Each structure stands twice: as C-alpha cells, then as structure tokens.
Amino acid sequence: MAGHQHAGLLTDEALLHNIAHGCQDCFDLLFLRFFRPLSNLAFKILRDRSEAEDIAQDVFLAIHQQRERFDPSVGSARTWILQFGYYKSLKRRTYLWRRQFYAPHVDEDGDGRDPALIQPEFIQRSVEEKEIVEQGLAGLTPAQRRVVELLHFEGHTLREISQMEGKELGAIRNSYYRGLKELKAIFRDGVHRIQVRGTVSAKRRDDYEIKL
C-alpha cells in the first residue's frame, strides 16, 4: 500500500485502517504491539503459556481475515483486538475443560463447572488494570520510578531510600510525590476507560461483529 509512512507512532486505528488497505508492514507493527497483551490475556484464562501463544497467533489470523470489519464508531481498535483474544480464549478453555485438560475442580454447589468461567469479565479487567500500572510506571522519570518501586514494591521507607540513593530526604520525597501525582492521573484515566467498556460488555460481541 502506498500513500502513508511508518515513521513515528501510528495509532492502533491507523494501523487497522492501513491493514484493511493491504499494508503488510502495518500488520507486522500491530503484531509487535499486541502479541504480548493478547498472550497475557489468553494466559489468564487458559493458564497454559503454549495454548495462550497459539490463541494470540489465531487472533492475528482472524484480524487479517476480518480486517475490513473494524468500525471506529463502535469502539477503539484496542478493545476490538482484545475481544478477539477474550472470546477465543474462553471458547478454547471450554474445549479443553470438557476434554479434562485441567485438573478437576468442583464449585460449592458441586456441579463440576469450571470456576474460571463463572465470571470471565474479571479476567480481562485484571489484565487491563495490570497494563495500566505498567504504562503508569513507564511514564515516570527514572528517579520517580526508582523511588516508587523501592517504597511500594520492596517495602523501604523514604528515609531508607534517601540513604540508599545518597540523596537528600527532601529530594527523595519530592520525587515520590511528583511520581505519585502522575500515577494517580494515569490510573484515573485508565480505570475510567475500563468502566466505560464494562457498560457495553454484554453486547460488545455483536457490536464488533467478531466471528470466531
């Protein structure tokens, strides 16, 4: 496909538009951008890395086959893509469960249903929330991220971090609160997007015209 460049960061929607017009380079870029999120989503449902990677590959094949079906007026490209992985993973999980791929579990009512399928929307939401955290940390300066990780992930106090980093306590405190302010803004926007997507989850499959 001629008429567009690949310099800079193309949006997901732009990639899908170009793919629909035959751009293989944009398809490769989309693969690089979404293979990990799709694999992580599938792994949350399937609990098997090999199966999850197979689902991700299958999703990209489906996207290529249905590349002209994406409608930006319905929702974002990211949601459309993740829905492929979400529903294909659930379908595969059901197939594997019925063939006793997983160790047997029995719910409280004793009907033998697969517990992972009782509230599947929670699985997708947890993956999206994890991605919001990763994006938030990536948006901090190295100094801010270092302080946040040492404080919240490793359990050190600000005074201990000051000694470890060889910096004044006031500078460490300043880095922390600036980073915390940035994280709150990112988390607020990300959680709002998840809540908005949740309001249409019941009918999303039909809206996006996903063919499994």
**What pLDDT is attached to residue 124?**
52
Class of domain 119-204: mainly alpha
Q: What are phi and psi of 77, to 5 degrees?
A: -65, -40
pLDDT value for 191: 53
**Helices 24-46 and 77-98: crossing angle, nearest 10°?**
40
Q: What is the pLDDT along the chain (212 residues), one digit of tens a residue?
A: 556 666 567 888 899 989 998 898 999 999 999 999 899 888 888 888 999 999 999 999 988 888 888 888 777 888 888 888 888 888 888 888 888 887 655 444 444 455 555 444 544 555 555 566 667 777 788 888 888 888 776 677 888 888 888 999 999 989 888 888 887 777 676 555 555 455 544 455 454 445 55
Structure tokens at 119: 């509230």
In CATH terms, the fold of domain 9-114 is Rna Polymerase Sigma Factor; Chain: A (1.10.1740)
pLDDT at 8: 60
How is the chain split into domains, by residue range?
9-114, 119-204
pLDDT value at residue 61 = 92
- Asked whether this chain's domains 9-114 and 119-204 adopt the same fold, the reply is no
Rg (CA), the chain: 21
Contact 131, 52 (CB under 8 A): no
- Go through 47-61 and write b for each residue having 16 or more CB atoms within 10 A of its CB, e for each that does not: ebeebbbbbbebbbe
Instruction: State both tokens at 102.
Output: 């997983």
pTM of structure: 0.53
pLDDT (0 to 100) of residue 126:
53
Q: What is the pLDDT of residue 145?
A: 85
